[in-house]
């Protein structure tokens, strides 16, 4: 039986005899072929890594399980994070299960409804900051310096250690690294963690190749692409509405060492990819996750030769996290009274 990231990859994680091997069943997520999208972009093979299948619905659980295990090992009683939503949901769940009080600071009005619901139901203390994610991160860093509380944002190195296990899974499933890895970039921890994982597996002889790391920021929140901090980032993809990523340098290193790129994708392109994933492949990712697919389409439009490429797009979080974006989609819901003739008429006849 699969027993979570800590047990499964214990020899590749910074664990000691004293680290509790906790789990909520994170990791071991599906890698699903996307043949229609592959045909449209003109690449040989396309797979979607469904990180929304983690226990709290995003990839954050992989890193949170390590960060929380190490916090428990160190005797910590409290954890804190700033979050655009998914980190707070994950921290709240692992904190609840493993006996820690959890404090989360989220940007007021800019966190998807499902994520806020999770933090509340898991029993975290929630502060809605009248400010953005970057300001929230700055504040929780200072809180953790001043008080006896463990910071579980990805500036905590155990987070990236856990998140690198997704790269291991890709190599374990595909038999080698993909040619291209397309991934959304917000605080830039995940792209850095994947690259670390790919390099470690390669060095251990588990893969023959390394992927080119292709990261995608939202156009209104693209500090790495533009080379400057964005004071007021804006995007419909609230998960990646970040203007000063904590792992900026690591992400640039991942890009450059791998011969990859970090580009910006517009909100329109994100929403188009969001719809296509759902309607052509049956995969419901959240808007930030769709940035990876939007990015792949963009690479194809730019003329990148994908004919022989095996590509993985990381679908970082479940579409159910953000019902409001889904419900704003152009839709044709017709109301009808409960009788057959009225319904046949509403459908325009058979
Ligand atoms: C679905 O939860 O930053 O580049 O506070 O939720 O590692 O930040 C979330 C980020 C992509 C970007 N996809 O990953 C948070 C937070 C989803 C996300 C990202 C996030 P990073």
Confidence (pLDDT) at 335: 87
pLDDT 10s digits, 130-165: 999 999 999 999 999 999 999 999 999 999 999 999
Distance from the alpha carbon of residue 83 to the mean position of ligand 1, in angstroms: 8
Confidence (pLDDT) at 269: 98
- Band (pLDDT 50/70/90 cuts) for residue 333 is confident
> How far apart are alpha carbons 70 and 102 in whole angstroms?
15
89 near 56, Cβ under 8 Å?
Answer: yes
| 161 contact partners, CB below 8 Å, separation of at least 6 | 13, 14, 63, 66, 193
> How far apart are alpha carbons 313 and 32 in whole angstroms?
10
Confidence (pLDDT) at 334: 84
Binding site membership of 318 for ligand 1 (Cβ less than 6 Å):
no
Confidence (pLDDT) at 348: 84
pLDDT 10s digits, 183-193: 999 999 999 99
Distance from the alpha carbon of residue 85 to the mean position of ligand 1, in angstroms: 8
Q: What is the pLDDT of the chain when averaged over all its residues?
A: 97
pLDDT 10s digits, 25-80: 999 999 999 999 999 999 999 999 999 999 999 999 999 999 999 999 999 999 99
Q: Model pTM?
A: 0.97
Q: Which atom of ligand 1 is nearest to the CA of 242?
A: 3
- Lowest average pLDDT, out of 13-22, 156-165, 262-271, 341-350, goes to 341-350
Residue 288: pLDDT over 90: yes
Distance from the alpha carbon of residue 38 to the mean position of ligand 1, in angstroms: 25
pLDDT 10s digits, 95-104: 999 999 999 9
Q: Which atom of ligand 1 is nearest to the CA of 153?
A: 5
Residue 332: pLDDT over 80: no
Binding site membership of 87 for ligand 1 (Cβ less than 6 Å):
yes
Confidence (pLDDT) at 92: 98
Residue 331: pLDDT over 80: no
pLDDT 10s digits, 193-241: 999 999 999 999 999 999 999 999 999 999 999 999 999 999 999 999 9
- Band (pLDDT 50/70/90 cuts) for residue 347 is confident
Distance from the alpha carbon of residue 127 to the mean position of ligand 1, in angstroms: 19
Mean pLDDT of 260-267: 98
């Amino acid at each position: 039986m699969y027993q979570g990231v800590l047990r499964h990859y214990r020899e590749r994680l910074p664990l000691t005899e004293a680290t509790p091997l906790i789990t909520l069943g994170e990791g071991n997520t599906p890698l699903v072929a996307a043949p229609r999208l592959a045909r449209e972009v003109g690449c040989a093979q396309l797979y979607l890594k469904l990180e929304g299948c983690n226990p709290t619905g995003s990839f954050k659980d992989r890193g949170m399980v390590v960060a929380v295990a190490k916090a428990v090992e160190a005797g910590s009683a409290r954890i804190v994070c700033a979050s655009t939503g998914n980190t707070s949901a994950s921290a709240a769940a692992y904190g609840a299960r493993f006996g820690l009080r959890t404090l989360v600071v989220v940007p007021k009005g800019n966190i998807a409804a499902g994520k806020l619901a999770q933090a509340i139901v898991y029993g975290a203390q929630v502060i809605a900051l009248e400010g953005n994610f970057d300001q929230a991160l700055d504040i929780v860093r200072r809180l953790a310096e001043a008080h006896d509380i463990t910071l579980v944002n990805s500036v905590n190195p155990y987070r990236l250690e856990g998140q690198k296990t997704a790269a291991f899974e890709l190599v374990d499933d595909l038999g080698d690294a993909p040619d291209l890895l397309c991934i959304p970039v917000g605080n830039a921890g995940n792209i850095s963690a994947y690259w670390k994982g790919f390099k470690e597996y390669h060095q251990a002889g588990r893969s023959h190749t390394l992927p080119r790391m292709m990261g995608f920021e939202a156009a209104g929140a693209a500090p790495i692409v533009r080379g400057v901090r964005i004071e007021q980032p804006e995007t419909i993809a609230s998960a990646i509405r970040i203007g000063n990523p904590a792992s900026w340098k690591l992400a640039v290193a991942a890009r450059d060492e791998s011969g990859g790129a970090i580009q910006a994708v517009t909100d329109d392109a994100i929403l188009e990819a969001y719809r296509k994933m759902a309607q052509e492949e049956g995969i419901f990712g959240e808007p930030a996750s769709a940035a990876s697919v939007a990015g792949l389409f963009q690479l194809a439009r730019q003329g990148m030769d994908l004919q022989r490429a095996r590509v993985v797009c990381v679908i970082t979080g479940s579409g159910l996290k953000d019902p409001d974006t889904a419900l704003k989609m152009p839709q044709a819901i017709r109301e009808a009274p409960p009788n057959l003739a009225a319904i046949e008429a509403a459908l325009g006849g058979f």
